[in-house]
Amino acid sequence: MSNRPGGTHSLLMGYLLWIFGFIGAHRFYYGKQLTGVIWFCTLGLFFIGWIIDLFLIPSMERQAERRFVPGPVNYDLSWILLTFLGWLGIHRFYMGKIFTGILYLVSAGLFGVGILWDFLTLNEQISDVNSGY
């Protein structure tokens, strides 16, 4: 479950992101990009889906634990870095992607488009990096 050694996603982070869930933050974190985009465009299905997700987060966490590869790159830290410092590329430096980190740093996250891409693909990027170890 959450925060166990070798785990990928935590319940605590899911619930913290749920606070901003009406924009899909917790759904992106758990690798549910399609519904994350829907939540973003509809304010959490007009806040109804957002409330329902309060009870669905434990199952989303279990699914993410089975789906993504644990390793030295921490999912929680990567998501925090992307969410608050994505335009600087700090999350990319943390994952060892120095070239794209520099590109993000000098272009404000490739003018915001790269940040959006990373919200859709960050879990898979981390799994790829962790698979190499």
pLDDT tens per residue across span 1-60? 444 556 899 999 999 999 987 789 999 999 999 999 999 999 999 999 999 999 999 999
Q: What is the pLDDT of residue 21?
A: 76
110 in any annotated domain: yes
Distance CA 83, CA 29 (A): 10
4 in any annotated domain: no
What range does the domain containing 91 cover? Answer: 75-131
Task: Copy the structure tokens of residue 38.
Answer: 């829907």
Count of the separate structural domains present in the chain: 2
6 in any annotated domain: no
Structural element, H or E, at residue 35: helix 33-46
Task: Copy the structure tokens of residue 108.
Answer: 């404000």
Reported pTM: 0.89
- Region label for 2, one of left (φ > 0), alpha (ψ between -120 and 50) or beta (otherwise): beta
59 in any annotated domain: yes
Q: For residue 101, which of 110, 113, 112, 89 has the smallest C-alpha distance?
A: 89
112 in any annotated domain: yes
41 in any annotated domain: yes
